[in-house]
Amino acid sequence: MAAGIIFAAISGEVDALNNAIFAAAEDAPMLIIELCGMICLWTGLMKIAERSGLVNLIGKALSPIIRRLFPDIPKGHPAFSAIIMNVAANFLGIGNAATPFGLKAMEQLQSLNPDKSRATPSMITFLVLNTSCITLMPTLVISMRVSAESASPAAIVGPTIIASTIGLCFALIFDRLMRAFYYRR
């Protein structure tokens, strides 16, 4: 924002900047209303997916992978199911539905933590997984593209899957490298 203001002042386009600011301020309430509607829709669909068992099905499919990423979580511990639900929601692109599961997972991981003042390796891995999870359906981005009247709002799905998969792979590799480096010290 600062760079835009400086550039507008240097180039003498302060009027254009003011017009853009006021146009954006006019459009913002409508964008918020449209996004709220889309978020409600996708959150409702997530609830339907959860109640129909789709989220549990995804969770069962992800369970062997999650078990390998978090070998120090005891089998049957509530942290494990909260992590699976968080990953399943992120997988479906419903970040706001994933947040309560993420908070619950971190709370459960903290209950396993012997030193409450420091994060455990599982907590760090969970944060890495949560922030870089593979997204199959980027619902918020699609919603924004719909509200911007994009000709093809779902065209982002393929690139999102590829980018999020690559990002997750690099994030998990970096997590393991940093863990090995930390334990060597």
17-63 pLDDT, tens digit each: 888 888 878 877 877 787 777 777 767 777 787 788 877 787 778 78
Among positive and negative, which fits the CA dihedral 112, 117, 121, 127?
A: positive
* Residue position matching structure tokens 């909260």: 82
Q: What is the DSSP letter of 140?
A: H
Q: Which two tokens stand for residue 31?
A: 């964008």
Give 185's pLDDT tier (boundaries 50, 70, 90): low
User: How far is 29 from 6, CA to CA, in rounded Å?
Assistant: 27
Q: What is the pTM of this model?
A: 0.70
Query: Rounded to the nearest 10 degrees, what angle do helices 121-131 and 157-184 cross at?
Result: 160
* Degrees to nearest 5, angle at CA 79 with 91 and 165: 25
Element (H, E) at 42: helix 14-52
